[in-house]
Amino acid sequence: MKQFTDEEKLNILSDLISMKSVNENEIEVANYLKNLFLDYDIDSTIIPVTDTRVNLVAEIGSGHPVIGISGHMDVVSAGDENEWVSDPFTLTERNGKLYGRGTNDMKAGLVNLVLVMIELKENNELINGTVRFMATTGEEVGGAGSKKLYEEGYMADVEYLWVAEPSHDTIIYSHKGSLNLKVTSKGESAHSSMPHLGRNAINPLMAYLLELDRKLNNDDRVNDVLGQLVMSTTLFNAGNQVNSVPEKAIAEINVRTIPEFDNDEVIALFKKTAETYSKNGAQIDVDVTMSLPSVFTSGKSNMVNLAKSIGRKHLGFDIDLKGSPGATDASNLLRDKGVDFPFMMFGPGETKMAHKTNEYVYKDYYFAFFDIYKDLILELTRK
Ligand SMILES: [Zn+2]
């Protein structure tokens, strides 16, 4: 009978934290997990996504139901490492908290999913159904890994999906989409003493951005769970020197979308407005650099109900049900699933802690979620 001890759980998490899986180095995590699975006779497949990036998929059991469990292997940069109290890539315990880059977002959740699968397999506890583990690459930078899994059909037969992103006291069953646009305005340079000889690239771009900002952020469509769409211009670069009329200006925009005002409609609006400006003497081009649709499910499923009661049992407090403004891999994984599809994001850690300096996860929650995940799979696959 395999039962991971607390020490083993901490050691494995510590190994994962020591791997700097900041952009493009997820393969180290994938190889480690592949070997760990192999120690317990679980086959897994490394799926190349780009030259350097990979996903990892492993499966136990057979037949229905097919439960999809997912987490990303990448972490965001540690930022200024001097701002950290302890080394971001050394798991460090202080006052019941486990510090390190990726403890919260989301290696604690990822390790739990792996260890639960191993115990279920090793102890023959899964009497029914399939559990498919899908570890992704590049979640923090556009979701290339989850897109690949969706395209290769790994979600086709999945009947339940949960993503172990940090949200310890709340089950997220819907979230906004995320759309990145890059807008380039081209003009003609001239000396600023004779601006009429050139065409200023900044001016029309500012007008264009402000017009869209007013239009999008004042749109009155509201999703009951997710609220309104929001748009922010987040980057603006232009000009070479103070006495030259700029020939080029580039802005980048992030839009958080809702089903009622979705990515396609926003893209069409940006392009149509650009055409209007271009007809009037400007030259504005729009590129879509990332497009993750919103995820909207009803949250009404036996899985969510079970997660609520099992969560309460192991955490000792009531679990909320909510929508979230942040996007996850579910944007890609659930591309063709309907509103009734049982989906949740639920994992150890606090949503607000993601991407922060001195990131931590509470040790108790890390352990509790192992029990939650295991009980949940056993309940869902019970005949
Ligand atoms: Zn995350």
Identify the burial level of 203 via C-beta atoms within 10 angstroms of its C-beta, where 0-12 means exposed, 13-18 middle and 19 or more buried: middle
Q: What is the pLDDT averaged over residues 214-242?
A: 97
Identify the burial level of 74 via C-beta atoms within 10 angstroms of its C-beta, where 0-12 means exposed, 13-18 middle and 19 or more buried: buried
| pLDDT score recorded for residue 24 | 78
At 286 the three-state DSSP class reads strand
Cα-to-centroid distance, 355 and ligand 1 (Å): 8
| pLDDT score recorded for residue 237 | 98
146, two tokens: 């989850």
What value does the mean pLDDT of the chain take? Answer: 96
Active-site annotation holds for 74: yes
Asked whether the CA dihedral 343, 347, 352, 357 is positive or negative, the reply is negative
Cα-to-centroid distance, 176 and ligand 1 (Å): 14
Provide the residue ranges of all domains of the chain, joining segments of one domain with +.
6-176+294-381, 177-292
| pLDDT score recorded for residue 328 | 92
24, two tokens: 């493009």
In the CATH scheme, what is the code of domain 6-176+294-381?
3.40.630.10
Cα-to-centroid distance, 173 and ligand 1 (Å): 15
Kindly tell me if the per-residue pLDDT of 141 is higher than 90.
Answer: no
Cα-to-centroid distance, 165 and ligand 1 (Å): 5
For residue 60, which phi and psi values (nearest 5 degrees)?
Answer: -130, 160
> What residues contact residue 80 under an 8 Å CB cut-off, 6+ apart?
357
pTM: 0.91
Active-site annotation holds for 336: no
Q: Which of 139, 247, 350, 359 is catalytic?
A: 139
Q: Which CATH number fits domain 177-292: 3.40.50.300, 2.70.210.12, 3.40.50.2300, 3.30.70.360?
A: 3.30.70.360
Q: What percent of the chain has pLDDT over 70?
A: 99
- The label of the residue with tokens 């601006």 reads 195
Q: Which of 59, 74, 119, 329 is catalytic?
A: 74
116, two tokens: 């639960």
Cα-to-centroid distance, 164 and ligand 1 (Å): 9
Cα-to-centroid distance, 109 and ligand 1 (Å): 10
